[in-house]
Amino acid sequence: MIQPPKITDSHCHLDFPDFNSELDEIVVNARQAGVNRMVTICTRLQQEPIVRKIAETYDTVFYAAGTHPMNADKEPLASVEELISLAKHPKFVGIGETGLDYHYTAESSAKQKESLLIHIEAAQRIKLPLIIHSRSADEDMAEILQSSYQRSPYSCVMHCFSSSPELAKLALDLGFYLSMSGIATFPKSHEVRNIFSNAPLDRILIETDAPYLAPPPFRGKRNEPAYTAFTAQVGADIFGISLKDFAAKTEENFERLFWKAT
């Protein structure tokens, strides 16, 4: 039996209700598909104990925590000290997700920016990667990332990247990473695939954002970490290399950025 190449789902949400009572099966499915690591992301800090418990339960699961921009005006603002304290856990590997989302929640833009700057400072101070969500906010996102990086460098991944070529270039120029999700596999996502094809291969990660954005042949259904394999195959096709080589390179990239998960 041919073993699939090892890959990592760098961004999923295993605490979401979509996976209730099925986590054992989800983790087994992932392992059988070659997904040897998952980073489950806490989007509300009140959920952090639940997300932490998931990471403690499964050897292959790590976690990150922050306040999603769409929750920024619904939750108490995190503090830098709170994030730094949470990061002491051995399986806590990144800060976020945080960022800006003006598609659905533009009315809370000021609070989102305030929250983002708190997460950036935490990442700057403890040298863990920042996990950025950016939607319909390219101009403000570019300004904040560039100005904060100039004050004090930090590492970062632009999760589920589907923004403009200009924001991609700025992120790459700062040394950041772009994460490829199921969006890159959708037939009409030509511009997203072009952005990735023009990026350096050593700055690419792969993810599901499960339970969202399932790639074909599961589009429209619940996504899960095992389906990272379908996005990885599309990634290999984009770069014109074998799945084995693409998987190996994205594993190197993941371990360079998420150094605590190795």
Under a CB-based contact definition with an 8 Å cutoff, are residues 41 and 12 in contact? Answer: yes
Which neighbouring-strand residues pair with 35? 7
Q: What is the CA angle 110-51-48, rounded to 5?
A: 45
Q: Which domains does the chain have, with CATH numbers?
A: 11-261 (3.20.20.140)
- How many whole angstroms separate alpha carbon 73 and alpha carbon 53? 26
- How many whole angstroms separate alpha carbon 41 and alpha carbon 47? 10
Q: What is the mean pLDDT of residues 183-194?
A: 97
Contacts for 244 with CB less than 8 Å, ≥ 6 apart: 5
The residue behind tokens 């190996």 is 248
- pLDDT tens by residue, 2-54: 789 999 999 999 999 999 989 999 999 999 999 999 999 999 999 999 999 99
- pLDDT tens by residue, 82-135: 999 999 999 999 999 999 999 999 999 999 999 999 999 999 999 999 999 999
Is residue 219 scored above 70 in pLDDT?
A: yes
**Measured CA distances, 31 to 26, 148, 166, 216 (Å):** 9, 38, 36, 20
Local structure of residue 116 (DSSP, 8 states) = H
Contacts for 142 with CB less than 8 Å, ≥ 6 apart: 166, 167, 170
43 membership: H or E segment, kind and range: none
Phi and psi at residue 155, to the nearest 5°: -100, 155
- 258: tokens are 């998420």
Is residue 1 scored above 70 in pLDDT?
A: no
pLDDT band for 190, please (50, 70, 90 cuts): very high
- pLDDT tens by residue, 137-168: 999 999 999 999 999 999 999 999 999 999 99
Beta-carbon count within 10 A of 153 CB: 12
- 107: tokens are 């009315």
Is residue 185 scored above 70 in pLDDT?
A: yes
pLDDT for res 171: 98
pLDDT for res 262: 87
The DSSP-derived string for 47-112 is GHHHHHHHHHH-TTEEEEE---GGGTTTSPPP-HHHHHHHTTSTTEEEEEEEEEEHHHHGGGHHHH
- How many whole angstroms separate alpha carbon 137 and alpha carbon 109? 9
The DSSP-derived string for 12-28 is E-TTSGGGTT-HHHHHH
Identify which of 20, 40, 37, 13 has the alpha carbon closest to the alpha carbon of residue 213.
13
